[in-house]
Structure 1
Amino acid sequence: MRKITLSLLGLLLISFSYARTSAVEAMEVYNYDSKMLNEDHVWPLNTYILDQDGEVLTDFKMTPNPASSKFQLILPKGITNVKLEIFDVLGNKIISKPLSKLSSTIDISKWNDGVYLVKISSDNGNHIKRFVKQ
């Protein structure tokens, strides 16, 4: 079990705990458990299964990264039934939509600056990469 904490000016904002387990050699599952902290209170958020590596999906690209107004998502050939989901660091789903092209432009001009998780799902599995909006 590993723990990641985010803090600002010495105040603990968010704490993530995660465990990495290998259910099968070709598939890794990451479970993230997050809590939002405020002085004397702890609010548990949700537990997410974020990543199951698919051999083909690990090759998807996002460019530029970091970006300020838009980025291009480029998928490998031979991938079918693709779904895009983007989450902020609190686990809020920002985008959820099917993708029908190998290249898509995502408008991020109205998003807050920060780190986002880009999840691509298909018949070949799921994969997540980090993206920075600045």
Structure 2
Amino acid sequence: MTDNIVINDISLNIDLSHTWMSDVDIYLTSPSGTQITIIEDRCNNRNDLLATFTDDGAAVQCTFSAPTISGTVNAVNMFSVFNGENALGDWVLTVADDTDQDGGSLNDWSLDICGTQTLSVLDDLENLITLYPNPSNEFIYLQLDRADYTNAGFDIYDTAGRFILSQSVNDVLTKVDLSHWASGMYLIKITIDDQVIIKQVIKE
């Protein structure tokens, strides 16, 4: 992707020829390393996929005629996990067949990305924020360069896009208790005066 924008919406178009679709797992990975599952073990022995995946789509329905998956549908995970990341760089679509015998080919795929901000804004925001210690098993601290922003806060999601926590930030230093979270990676979406950046948090 050559567009230097910060993401606020994504849709993914896939044209896949494959027999026995339940063998197929598909994943999308952003330039920042965030990965979501698009589809996994669906539609039994039916064939082919020609669809647009988006957070605004319908639930996947498996038809008997090919392509068994078509139209505008939801992925397994939410694309909103990518919101706040920069679109610039290499996006990777991984298509895996986890069973022998059946096979197929990825005919085409593309991304439609909407965004509003430039990388220079992200660079400036990056310099305002410190997040430590990371990884951690008890607490993390969010430190800003000052405390007088009009609007500052954060939202935390797991890598499946499930909402965990939302909190306003009114001080230079904010303590976040993650001792009760399951171990793994989380995404913290930090907003400062309508500028947004995503950082990764590792719970040990």
TM-score range, shorter chain: 0.5 to 0.7
1:111 aligns with 2:181: yes
Which position in structure 1 is the counterpart of 2:138?
Answer: 69
Task: Give 3-state SS (helix, strand or coil) of 1:58's partner.
Answer: helix
Which position in structure 2 is the counterpart of 1:5?
Answer: none
Matching of residues 40-51 of structure 1 within 5 Å = 40=42, 44=75, 45-48=77-80, 50-51=83-84
What CA distance in whole angstroms lies between the structure 1 residues aligned with 2:25 and 2:183? Answer: 16
| Shift >6 Å, 4+ stretches | none
Q: Which amino acid aligns with 1:46?
A: M
- Specify the structure having the higher radius of gyration (Cα): 2
CA offsets 1:3-62 (integer angstroms, 9 cap, x no match): xxxxxxxxx9872244x7xxxxxxxxx9x8843544345861332251154454212111
What CA distance in whole angstroms lies between the structure 2 residues aligned with 1:131 and 1:98? Answer: 18
Which position in structure 2 is the counterpart of 1:9?
Answer: none
Task: Give 3-state SS (helix, strand or coil) of 1:57's partner.
Answer: helix
CA contact (8 A) 1:54 1:124 kept: no
More strand by percentage: 1
Change (3 A) 1:14 1:81: farther
Gaps of 5+ in 1: 2-11, 21-29
Cα deviation for residue 119 of structure 1 reads 1.1
- Could you say what the CA RMSD is over the residues aligned between the two structures, in angstroms? 3.1
- Percent identity over paired residues: 26
CA contact (8 A) 1:55 1:124 kept: no
Change (3 A) 1:46 1:55: same
More helix by percentage: 2
Task: Give 3-state SS (helix, strand or coil) of 2:78's partner.
Answer: strand
User: TM-score, normalised on structure 2?
Assistant: 0.47
Which position in structure 2 is the counterpart of 1:8?
Answer: none
